[in-house]
Amino acid sequence: MVVGLREFTLRTEDGSGKPVLDESNGEELKQVQPSVAIVLGNRPVESPGTLYITSRKIIWLSDVDMSKGYAVDFLSISLHAVSRDPEAYSSPCIYTQIDVEEDEDESDTESTEVLDLPKIREMRLVPSDSSQLDTLFDVFCECAELNPEPVEEEEENGDSWVFGADQMDVRGGGEEDAEWQMSQSPTSVIGHTNGDEGLAQPMLELQINDQRFEDAEEMAHDSESKDHH
């Protein structure tokens, strides 16, 4: 379940260099922040780049190297905060902690030279315009809330699986099996085109008859009242 940080290089082919989003699954762009540098773990700063915040994840794409980009799902972000103390980091930034798969030799993974993205536990996003930090923080909060743990969904699946099993038990008996088919088949007959037309025709005739009948009654009333006067 825990994915962590990953490479992201899917850009639209219209030349804008924007990331390709999973729009068919409802992913939408919430915020674009140009001129953002990124710091992964203790690695050196990478810039310049553009930050894209979607309803699902954070994407950082390099402005110069079109094959360079990173993404992390909100599901994997443990916490985020605004960092302004120059002692912690030289520039004000959004500080994030990323949930990673627990590993036995985790202590020395970050110090190794090889970039192992899923092991990165910290990410800093440094916008050149630091007045945007609070806005970015708020957008991060909003999007994090859009991505609750998928636990409930799993529970629902579990329920429906149990429910499905119950249904199978009920249908186990021979009689009920026949009933099930009975209730199914009339529906399909009514739904049939020929059946519809056959039904519609008498209905129309019936209505015409009704109208004539009402008209006749009214006319009768009219003539009656005329008679009285």
Partner 1 sequence: MLFFSYFKDLVGQEVTVELKNDLAIRGTLHSVDQYLNIKLENTRVVDQDKYPHMLSVRNCFIRGSVVRYVQLPPDGVDVDLLHDAARREARGG
Residues that bind partner 1 (CB under 8 A): 77-85, 87-89, 95, 97, 99, 122, 137, 140-141, 144-145, 148-149
The nearer residue to partner 1, 28 or 142, going by C-beta atoms, is 142
Q: Find the shortest distance in angstroms from Cβ 149 to partner 1.
A: 5
Q: Find the shortest distance in angstroms from Cβ 141 to partner 1.
A: 5
The nearer residue to partner 1, 59 or 93, going by C-beta atoms, is 93
Q: Find the shortest distance in angstroms from Cβ 34 to partner 1.
A: 23
Q: Find the shortest distance in angstroms from Cβ 58 to partner 1.
A: 13
The nearer residue to partner 1, 17 or 118, going by C-beta atoms, is 118
Report DSSP letters for the chain, one per residue.
----SEE---B-TTSS-PBPP-GGGT--EEEEE-SEEEEETTSPPB-SEEEEEESSEEEEEESS-TT-EEEEEGGGEEEEEEE--TTT-SS-EEEEEE-----TTGGGTTTSSS--GGG--EEEEEESSGGGHHHHHHHHHHHHHT---THHHHHHHHHHHHHHHHHHHHTTSHHHHHHHHHHHHHHHHHHSHHHHHHHHHHHHHHHHHHHHHHHHHHHHHHHHHHHH-
| Residue 112, token pair as written in the block | 């190794």
The nearer residue to partner 1, 84 or 212, going by C-beta atoms, is 84
The nearer residue to partner 1, 134 or 205, going by C-beta atoms, is 134
Q: Find the shortest distance in angstroms from Cβ 151 to partner 1.
A: 8
